[in-house]
Structure 1
Amino acid sequence: MGGDEGGDERHEGAGSEVKYSAVLIAGPTASGKSALAVALARRFGGVVVNTDSMQVYRDLQVITARPTPAEMGEVPHRLYGHIDGAVNHSAAAYAAEVTALLQELAGQGALPVLVGGTGLYFKALTEGLSEIPPVPDEVRAEFRAWAAERETGELHAELALKDSEMAARLRPSDRLRVMRALEVLQATGRSLASFQGSRRPGPLSGQDLLKLFLAPERELVRTRIDRRFDAMMAQGALDEVAVLRERRLDPLLPVMRAHGVPGLIAYLDGRLSLDEAVARGKADTRAYAKRQVTWFRHQMEGWTAASPEAALDVALSACSGGAWIAGSNPA
């Protein structure tokens, strides 16, 4: 997993014990998750593990707010910036990486501190994923060429004709999910709904986990998002996106849909002013933060909500209740 490690040495507090197999930290973007993860990893001799679907990509460091090399030098960090942007990195692939990493960390006696804002990744780890067969590359390419010539409403209407159950579950404007449902149907001859009832366990299923959700005030998040986007622009986000644009990747790839990327590409293409592109990036990020809160409220049970200011005290109090045993992660 080259390029995503922050070192192997143990840090202050390495002898401290906690009663959990892993600590999970989620929350909306710009809520202070990374700082909390570093503080806990330093306190308990842990390793910070990325659980953000955009921060896995090598192409985008600045605009995804990925930790800098200096920040990753404070404590070991894993699964950051190790995937090429041309890869459609899935939740299943991520869960497989974490399964192997947990075995490695258990052997080292290191506490995994998983941090990020991607709810599906956390769900894959704690509850497992539906066993959907992979779509062959040739089927995907043929389907996407066909879909590229059709509006999203047409695709949803096509899905309604072929798979009314999935069509009823999806918003007609949700192009990516509608395409996914059609793609699976074409590749397998079965509705995506038929796969969603069965799950294989995730690598953290059945484990004793501390699960924290940072819940700052909404207006504070909005302010932080806007300020952070301005800071990212000052740090070279536009240059980073310009390099990505030159790769001419499929616009449906995740890396091409990272918040801020579509708007800045539109600016580089002459379709938006820079002010309009920045405003779009901020608005998209604020909308995403709202969706993150909604996801965790409705999809993720058993998480402890805490304000960013109180989260460290909440975590330390929870962790002091017993001993964490190295090697307790599943083999």
Structure 2
Amino acid sequence: MSDQPFALLIAGPTASGKSALALGLAEHFGGTVINADSMQVYAGLRVLTAQPSAAEMACLPHRLYGVRDPAEAASVAWWREQALAEMEAARAAGRLPILCGGTGLYFRSLTEGLTEIPPIPPEAREEARGLLAAEGPAALHARLAAADPASAARLRPSDSQRLARAWEVWRGTGRGMDFWHKEGGTGPARLGERPWRFAAIRLDPPRDALRDAIRLRWAAMLRAGAEAEVRALLARGLDPALPAMRAHGVPELGAVQRGAIGLEEAGRRACLAIGQYTKRQATWYRHHALAAPSLTHTIHARIAGLEQFSESEGAEIFSFVRSGVDGSETDD
């Protein structure tokens, strides 16, 4: 058995069933489920971001769900620090850390490390937010392409948060994000002197199964109080550029509350946006390895719970996780 600390990663697109799989495996292996989704960190958005229910969280330890005020943007660096602390706490308690979510950059920050960037002056950050608010993301992307084409090429013109970050880094350091990425950074996650070992389960269900799941989830969210969550969030008058204000369903239900569209149209728009997002997630996971091929198990189905698997399929999943827990997996 390896004396290196081990953690399991469960990744995949929105509505693929990651949480159900994580819950089942945590019950079987004595795990602590640690959130690795950039929207589920925010408080007050339990329904809209599909955070675990109160009953599920009472069943076994869940960490980093609903812990961040929506007024404060959560960075990858912040999440990595919090996740490492929770992983070490789980390890000390004799539990298996199971990191579950859909944010690929969060997983990558653990397995590959983070780029270290010098502190950004407040005026550079304010300029980036001001340009984004005044001109919109497409115009900011055009500005970035002229000033820092290498960094701009890595970003979508609609990715407002990362565009603002890239602009503030260029303005604040005189170097672009592409430069700092090439400089290196923190390196893979470690526990003391020992690097963590990771194995990953990646969910990659068929598109039609995801589309159906997204529609069903949206209807369930409305029944569970999604409109009230959005009403409370909008009442705070937060900056619309904040990540929580752009969570799926917030813009659409906000438009309903302003009387701009009806609830049916909001659902159509939200489900379309979520579906497009899941395509980008799936593409990202296909092009970025979370672990070595021999340490990644891919499931081409949507998960409703471990009970849906046949005896042989369940045994295969348990064997895969057990090999990681025991340190018997091999890297091809």
TM-score normalized by structure 2?
0.86
**What CA distance in whole angstroms lies between the structure 1 residues aligned with 2:15 and 2:124?**
38
- The reply to whether residue 201 of structure 1 matches residue 187 of structure 2 is yes
The Cα of 1:45 is off from its aligned counterpart by 1.2
Structure 1 residue 173 displacement after superposition? 4.3
Residue 108, structure 1, aligned to residue 93, structure 2 = yes
Aligned to 2:208: 219
Partner residue, 1:239: 228
The reply to whether residue 305 of structure 1 matches residue 298 of structure 2 is yes
Q: Which residue of 1 aligns with 2:56?
A: 71
1:289 positional shift: 1.1
CA contact (8 A) 1:20 1:324 kept: no
* Cα distance, 1:145 vs structure 2: 2.1
Secondary structure of 1:72's counterpart equals helix
Q: Secondary structure at the match of 1:266?
A: helix
| Distance in 2 separating the partners of 1:153 and 1:117 | 25
Q: Deviations over 1:217-270 (max 9, x none)?
A: 110111001111011011110110010000111111111111111111122122
Tell me if structure 1 keeps the 8 A contact 2:132–2:160.
no
Match of 1:43 in 2: 28
In terms of fraction of residues, the more helix-rich structure is 2
1:148 aligns to what SS in structure 2?
helix
CA apart distance, 1:107: 1.5
Structure 1 residues 320 and 208: alpha-carbon distance in aligned structure 2, compared to 1, 3 A threshold: same
**Paired amino acid for 1:133:** P
| Alignment RMSD (CA, Å) | 2.3
Task: Please list every run of 5 or more consecutive structure 1 residues that lacks an aligned counterpart in the other structure.
Answer: 1-16, 326-331
Work out which of the residue numbers 5, 24, 27 in structure 1 matches 2:9.
Answer: 24
Is contact 1:20-1:319 (8 Å) kept? no
The yes-or-no answer on 1:255 pairing with 2:244 is yes
| Structure-1 separation of matches of 2:289 and 2:67 | 27
Distance 1:94 1:153, change over 3 A: closer
Query: How many residues are treated as equivalent by the alignment?
Result: 309
Aligned mates of 1:175, 1:45 — CA distance in 2: 39
Deviates more, 1:294-303 or 1:216-225: 294-303
**CA separation of 1:218 and 1:185: change in aligned 2, threshold 3 A:** same
Q: How do residues 1-331 of structure 1 correspond to structure 2 at under 5 angstroms?
A: 21-197=6-182, 198-203=184-189, 206-301=195-290, 302=292, 303-307=296-300, 308=303, 309-310=308-309, 312-321=314-323, 324=326
- Contact 2:42–2:69 at 8 Å: present in 1 too? yes
Give the Å deviation of 1:140.
Answer: 1.7
Change (3 A) 1:261 1:323: closer
Q: Which runs of 5+ in 2 are unaligned?
A: 328-332
Paired residue for 1:7?
Answer: none
CA apart distance, 1:52: 0.9
In structure 2, relative to structure 1, the CA distance for the partners of 1:318 and 1:173 (3 Å cut) is closer
Change (3 A) 1:322 1:129: closer
Percent of matched pairs sharing the same residue: 45
Scaled by the length of structure 1, the TM-score of the pair is 0.86
Q: Is the 2:128–2:165 Cα contact (8 Å) retained in structure 1? A: no
Query: Which deviates more from structure 2 when the two are superposed, residues 192-201 or residues 228-237?
Result: 192-201
1: distance between equivalents of 2:162 and 2:35? Answer: 24
Distance 2:37 2:157 in 1: 27
